Amino acid sequence: MSNWKDNIRIVDPYTPGEQPKDKNIIKLNTNENPYPPSPLVEMTIKNFSEDLNRRYPDATADKLISNLAKYHGCDKNQVFAGVGSDDVLGMLFLTFFNSDKPILFPDITYSFYPVWAELFKIPYQTIPLNSSFEINISDYNIPNGGIVIANPNAPTGIYLDKSSVEEIISSNPDSIVIVDEAYIDFAPEGSSCIDLIDKYDNLVVVRTFSKSRSLAGLRVGYALSNPEVIKYLNDVKYSYNSYTLNSLAIEAGSVSIDDEAYFRKTIADIVNTRERFAKELENIGFDVLKSSTNFLFAGNKNINTEDLFNYLKANNIYVRYFKSPRIDNFLRITIGKEEEMERLIEKINEFLTQ
Amino acid sequence: MSNWKDNIRIVDPYTPGEQPKDKNIIKLNTNENPYPPSPLVEMTIKNFSEDLNRRYPDATADKLISNLAKYHGCDKNQVFAGVGSDDVLGMLFLTFFNSDKPILFPDITYSFYPVWAELFKIPYQTIPLNSSFEINISDYNIPNGGIVIANPNAPTGIYLDKSSVEEIISSNPDSIVIVDEAYIDFAPEGSSCIDLIDKYDNLVVVRTFSKSRSLAGLRVGYALSNPEVIKYLNDVKYSYNSYTLNSLAIEAGSVSIDDEAYFRKTIADIVNTRERFAKELENIGFDVLKSSTNFLFAGNKNINTEDLFNYLKANNIYVRYFKSPRIDNFLRITIGKEEEMERLIEKINEFLTQ
């Protein structure tokens, strides 16, 4: 055996949801948006100049960054963009979590957090959610090297009220607190912590274009914070890859922000479908956690959840099932189009009555 | 001051070449290809399905990986793709360079190598090129934690013959040897080490679409090795970001491989221009290193090179100047179109006779 094998960083990677290619599958397993991106995106891609492919992209992604700054009413130097929010989060972990003390995040949350911690050899401690799958904010008043809160949380869909998030941030002035707002556009207005970035120098808010902007395939995510945090983050980015976003992502991502009416319309449609579908699931005996996202987390103690998951899959409906402690009798179901959810209810009923 | 600042990874990032937006600038500073990508690329982008933006990309980038495997006559599990070769190289450093012994690379080479080493806290030692800017292969017979050789080298443009590279690989069976072939398509046929990946389990060859395939703006690079190395590399990739390549990069990158005739034609044009331009530079008193790339590294001891660099810039011609020991009287000049090189020679003559 060659000795080079002694020097490998051996890791247990994150498992993304399946991406079946069959167009007949109703795909409710990765929280994609059922509606296409803004028509402006398609137009931009069709009119894309070949010269933008030939040349290196703008390393600063200025067009996208400027537009995001304008959208959120902050300065350009408060915005950092990456290849999806995973790239942004990974880089945040690498840049700011270099303490000997453990970073903290809930036991049930985005399952990529422990994977980044393992990859970069960052000590971490998970903090159990309470029996209602809620965060108990006083649990975070312990020595730590950083905190990560997904709000709304995944896969539960539960939103932690803003004043509670603020208390975690203000109680931990010596730690970077990342608030991962991947799903916040599906929560009630005024839920976001973005307006706190000027108040707390330890706060970083992370967003993605993959859910509310229907652009999972384009890979765009971003972080908002104070200029100092963004500068350190950019230094690490430029030490890894000068040009992370390709020119198409910069151009198409940027114009998608311009179509606010379309954006609000698709979000409202998804929220309406979510509320109707949640009631239907409750009517047939499911416990449905209160969702502020584009998915539902629902369980039924009278059935074998894994069997239901497999039954749906056999019927060309993909949802997500986590065979993990505390949540192995729940399914995470992305909100699709009305007709997709009707078909799903039909098949669940079929399973229940078989 | 907040204590979170004690836990920042503070780095000195790589400085990419300038990307001026003014279309009138003759841009010969970042080794982009002067010719557009294959027309197949444009067609693919124009016909791109919006559904591919809405959904997550194929995390395995199968279409691209399969096409690369076919092109190089290897198996799919011998290919890894990333966001430009920088992403691929960064991930290779993170995955395989975890020894206490220093990794080795030349003192004059791609200036990103020491930046990745600093970022990931990898010890490294630079090995001086000889006075002709060539690699002395016996210098690499010392204890090390890995080796990186750019071949042809940058910014010198000099090619190290394949048997010498093979000797470095075979003399270091306990180290991963990365051969960075970013510019190999501009070298004579048969120069690549790709056909050695089945012979040496410690060899990784890295390639990019940014130079010979005119796709710097799309961000596609790849590595070829044995299935075991590729598996470890993928584990790290999936532990950082499941979906690094966006769907447009997978689709457009993949079709660019199909247009071999166009690919060969543009490379031949660039090589012809390079040889003609090298002679012209020599005729007006420059020392020109023998190039096997799409750029020339040329110096003139009778002039102030930085002054020439600034003179050209003031005349809207951007080339690259490195204010570093041993090479601060050289310019790195990308090979552009014939008319661009003529204009450059004109302006250099103007500088020399002013």
Q: What does the pLDDT look like over B128-177, one tens digit per residue? A: 999 999 999 999 999 999 999 999 999 999 999 999 999 999 999 999 99
**Cα B296 to chain centroid, rounded:** 14
Could you tell me if A234 lies within 8 Å of chain B, comparing CB atoms? yes
Give the range among A8-17, A74-83, B125-134, B220-229 with minimum mean pLDDT.
A8-17
Q: Is the pLDDT of residue B46 over 60?
A: yes
Residue ranges of alpha helices (H) inside A205-259 are: 227-238, 247-256
- Burial code of B204-243, b = ≥16 C-beta within 10 A, e = fewer? bbbbbbbbbbbbbbbbbbbbbbbeebbebbbbbbbbbbbb
pLDDT range class, residue B208, cuts 50, 70, 90: very high
Shortest distance between the Cα of A38 and any Cα of chain B, in A, equals 10
Mean pLDDT of chain B: 96
Could you tell me if B146 lies within 8 Å of chain A, comparing CB atoms? yes
Residue A348 has a pLDDT of 98
Residues contacting residue A195 through CB under 8 Å, at least 6 positions apart:
none
> What average pLDDT does this structure show over A27-33?
97
C-beta separation of B186 from B292 below 8 A: yes
Instruction: Please identify which residue in the block is written with the tokens 């992305």.
Output: A334
Q: Which of A303, A304, A337, A306 is nearest to A319 (CA)?
A: A306
Instruction: Output B354 or B313, whichever has higher pLDDT.
Output: B313
Q: Which positions in chain A touch B46 (Cβ < 8 Å)?
A: 45-46
Shortest distance between the Cα of A324 and any Cα of chain B, in A, equals 19
Residue A278 has a pLDDT of 98
Residue B283 has a pLDDT of 97
Verify whether the Cβ–Cβ distance A55 to B7 is below 8 Å.
no
Determine how many CB atoms are found less than 10 A away from the CB of residue B200: 18
Verify whether the Cβ–Cβ distance B36 to A53 is below 8 Å.
yes
Residue A233 token pair: 């983050």
C-beta separation of A151 from A193 below 8 A: yes
Verify whether the Cβ–Cβ distance B9 to A95 is below 8 Å.
yes
Residue A108 token pair: 């049930």
- Among A248, A255, A340, most B C-beta atoms within 10 A, so best to mutate, is A248
Verify whether the Cβ–Cβ distance A13 to B236 is below 8 Å.
yes
Residue B354 has a pLDDT of 85
Residue A222 has a pLDDT of 98
Cα separation, A62 vs B260, in Å, equals 34
Q: Which of A301, A300, A303, A298 is nearest to A319 (CA)?
A: A298
Q: Is the pLDDT of residue B1 over 70?
A: no
Verify whether the Cβ–Cβ distance A235 to B58 is below 8 Å.
no
Contacts 24+ apart (CB under 8 A), B317-323: B317/B25, B317/B26, B317/B28, B317/B343, B317/B344, B317/B347, B318/B17, B318/B18, B318/B20, B318/B25, B318/B26, B318/B27, B318/B28, B318/B29, B319/B28, B319/B29, B319/B344, B320/B17, B320/B29, B320/B30, B320/B155, B322/B111, B322/B155
Which of B11, B54, B118 is opposite residue A32, by nearest beta carbon? B54
Verify whether the Cβ–Cβ distance A16 to B243 is below 8 Å.
yes
Which of A99, A217, A242 is opposite residue B54, by nearest beta carbon? A217
> What average pLDDT does this structure show over A3-26?
88
Could you read off the pLDDT of B237-292 as tens digits, one per residue?
999 999 999 999 999 999 999 999 999 999 999 999 999 999 999 999 999 999 99
The dihedral over CA atoms of A85, A89, A92, A93, expressed in degrees to the nearest 10, equals: -170
Residue A166 has a pLDDT of 98
Kindly tell me the burial class for residue B163, based on how many C-beta atoms sit within 10 Å of its own C-beta (0-12, 13-18, 19 or more): exposed
C-beta separation of B214 from B35 below 8 A: yes
Could you read off the pLDDT of A318-334 as tens digits, one per residue?
999 999 999 999 999 99
CA-nearest residue of chain B to A16? B242
Residue B295 has a pLDDT of 98
Residue A354 token pair: 């078989």
Instruction: Output A14 or B227, whichever has higher pLDDT.
Output: B227
The H or E element that residue B93 is part of is helix B84-96
Could you tell me if B85 lies within 8 Å of chain A, comparing CB atoms? no
Residue A16 token pair: 């993304």
Residue A1 has a pLDDT of 53
Cα separation, B296 vs A37, in Å, equals 44
Residue B310 has a pLDDT of 97
Cα separation, B261 vs A82, in Å, equals 35
Could you tell me if B111 lies within 8 Å of chain A, comparing CB atoms? no
Instruction: State yes or no: cis peptide before B34, omega within 30 of 0.
Output: no
Could you read off the pLDDT of B7-30 as tens digits, one per residue?
999 999 888 888 888 889 999 999
Shortest distance between the Cα of B190 and any Cα of chain A, in A, equals 26
What is the percentage of chain A residues whose pLDDT exceeds 70? 100
DSSP 8-state class, residue B320: B
- Chain B window 249-308: which residues touch A at a Cβ cutoff of 8 Å? 249, 252
> What average pLDDT does this structure show over A299-303?
94
Verify whether the Cβ–Cβ distance B53 to A252 is below 8 Å.
yes
pLDDT range class, residue A92, cuts 50, 70, 90: very high
- Whole-angstrom Cα Rg for chain A: 21
> What average pLDDT does this structure show over B210-237?
98
Residue B162 has a pLDDT of 97
Strand partners, A203: A177
CA-nearest residue of chain B to A40? B50
Which of B17, B57, B218 is opposite residue A246, by nearest beta carbon? B218
> What average pLDDT does this structure show over A246-274?
97
Kindly tell me the burial class for residue B189, based on how many C-beta atoms sit within 10 Å of its own C-beta (0-12, 13-18, 19 or more): exposed
Strand partners, A127: A106
Cα separation, B18 vs B311, in Å, equals 16
Cα separation, A289 vs B262, in Å, equals 57
Could you read off the pLDDT of A130-168 as tens digits, one per residue?
999 999 999 999 999 999 999 999 999 999 999 999 999
ipTM for this model: 0.96
Q: Which of A74, A84, A87, A121 is nearest to A102 (CA)?
A: A121
Q: Is the pLDDT of residue B342 over 60?
A: yes
Could you read off the pLDDT of B89-122 as tens digits, one per residue?
999 999 999 999 999 999 999 999 999 999 999 9
Strands B317-318, B26-27: pairing is parallel
Residue A216: left (phi > 0), alpha (psi -120 to 50), or beta? alpha
Cα separation, B127 vs B109, in Å, equals 10
Residues contacting residue A193 through CB under 8 Å, at least 6 positions apart:
A151, A162, A165, A166, A169, A179, A181, A203, A205
Could you tell me if A43 lies within 8 Å of chain B, comparing CB atoms? no
